[in-house]
Amino acid sequence: MKKHIYLLLLFLLCFAFAKAQSEKAVLEERKAEIQREINQFDRLLKNVRKEEKTMVLLVETIDKKISRTQEIINITNKQANTLTRNIKSNVVQIKKLEVEIKALKAEYAEMIVKAYKSKNDQSRLMFLLSSEDFLQAYKRVQYLQTYANYRKKQADEISLKSTGLADKNKELESEKEEKSRVLALNQRQRVALKTDKVEQVDLLAVVQANEKKYAADIKEKSRERNKIDLELRALIAADIKASNKGKTGTVENKFFLTPEAKILANNFKSNKGKLPWPVEEGFVSRRYGKQPHPVVKSLTIDSNGLRMQSPGGAKVRAIFEGEVIRITKSKYGILAVHIRHGNYTSIYDNLKLVSVEKGDTVNTKDIIGEIFTSNSGETELKFVLMQDTETIDPAQWIARK
């Protein structure tokens, strides 16, 4: 019974340790990811500050950087608290081990003294020969063997606990050093946060003083986006019409699906929430749907897809296997690639270069182009997902980071 309890306790300790290590790895990974985003914000801010016409973008970028910086502060606070608990636990365990080792050494020393005195009084041989009969001699042999084994066990236990104590001391020192690093990072982020918040207040004051002007600019851009959205729907409708031409049983504004296309569409649908990101590195800078403008809160904007910020020169990947059905080019030379997946279409807009042609078959994660970088340093992918002629929220389809 005791053995089973011991094994259960050992299992629970191992499980708790593995869980703690897993949580630590997740926090470190998230912290590194956020730091990459902050570095990207800093590069963007450096360029944006040079442009007089990008005040709204500047405020928007500062807001996002502040949000990510606060997230790193929260993570480092959590890490510091965890390390504090670990340090306290290790200090308690070290003190316990020290007491146990001290008691073991005292007991062992007493055994050695007794053995020495016993050796002087009479030898082991005399101890055995003085037995009254064979049974008593046998019992005395057993006693001597048990006593010797117990002494060896005590020595081994002292050695084992001493090793454990040394390991715990190393672990304690390591955790103290890690806590110092975490607290130093936390302090640096707090200083950066304070600086950014001061700049944010100043910038917001400028925006509020010229709110009518900025609101007019935003409305104009919204009208342009709405026009582009209508053109996009018209293009998809044209693709559907061309695809359905000559086929019976078709429905207006819905792709006619061959058996192969049905399989592809079903495979695409079954991967909802698990599809890869169209960019290997980056973050969502604008979500899908209606939302208050991040700077001019009185305005509502409507996004037909996701905006994703990536490092300069970032490549774009197909989120699923499919066929390139269209490549468009705007009057400014900006490219977009349309890939069909049954009755779903993924659209990758704001590209500088494309590496595919109409009619090409692509596989998941195949490189299809490179994102355009603006004069202000923005490398932003416009990612749209459609089911027939209706846009759907890409965030619900791609994997969560």
The answer to the question of residue 6 being in a domain is no
What pLDDT score does 6 carry?
Answer: 46
pLDDT mean over 145-163: 67
pLDDT mean over 255-263: 88
The answer to the question of residue 10 being in a domain is no
Of the candidates 176, 209, 242, which is a domain's last residue?
209
The answer to the question of residue 3 being in a domain is no
What pLDDT score does 139 carry?
Answer: 59
The answer to the question of residue 129 being in a domain is yes
Query: What rounded mean pLDDT belongs to the chain?
Result: 80
Domain count, the chain: 2
Higher pLDDT among residues 370 and 13, named by residue:
370
> Distance between CA atoms of 345 and 355, rounded to whole angstroms?
18
112 phi/psi in degrees, rounded to 5: -65, -40
What pLDDT score does 19 carry?
Answer: 54
175-186 b/e with 16+ CB inside 10 Å = b?
A: beebbeebeebb
pLDDT band at 204, cuts 50/70/90?
Answer: confident
Higher pLDDT among residues 24 and 184, named by residue:
184
Higher pLDDT among residues 112 and 189, named by residue:
189
The answer to the question of residue 401 being in a domain is no
Residue 13 in contact with residue 40, Cβ under 8 Å?
Answer: no
Give the best-scoring range by mean pLDDT among 28-32, 86-90, 117-121, 320-324: 320-324
Of the candidates 143, 174, 209, which is a domain's last residue?
209
Give yes or no: residues 251 and 191 share one domain: no
pLDDT mean over 248-270: 87
Give yes or no: residues 185 and 310 share one domain: no
Residue 179 has pLDDT above 50, yes or no: yes
Give yes or no: residues 205 and 259 share one domain: no
Global pTM?
Answer: 0.65
The answer to the question of residue 64 being in a domain is yes
Give yes or no: residues 93 and 151 share one domain: yes
Give yes or no: residues 128 and 230 share one domain: no
The answer to the question of residue 153 being in a domain is yes
Give yes or no: residues 341 and 314 share one domain: yes
Give yes or no: residues 122 and 180 share one domain: yes
Structural domain for 76, as ranges: 16-209
> Distance between CA atoms of 293 and 55, rounded to whole angstroms?
14
Give yes or no: residues 80 and 191 share one domain: yes
Of the candidates 155, 185, 209, which is a domain's last residue?
209
Give yes or no: residues 162 and 291 share one domain: no
pLDDT mean over 363-384: 91
Nearest to 304 by CA among 189, 227, 202, 216: 227
- Segment 335-350, tens digit of pLDDT: 999 999 999 999 999 9
Give yes or no: residues 86 and 182 share one domain: yes
CATH code for the domain of 366: 2.70.70.10
Higher pLDDT among residues 341 and 92, named by residue:
341
Give yes or no: residues 130 and 216 share one domain: no
Higher pLDDT among residues 75 and 114, named by residue:
75
CATH code for the domain of 150: 1.10.287
The answer to the question of residue 256 being in a domain is yes
Q: What share of the chain is helix, strand, coil (3-state, %, to 5)?
A: 60, 15, 20
The structure tokens 């801010």 sit at 45
Give yes or no: residues 231 and 322 share one domain: yes
% pLDDT > 70, the chain? 79
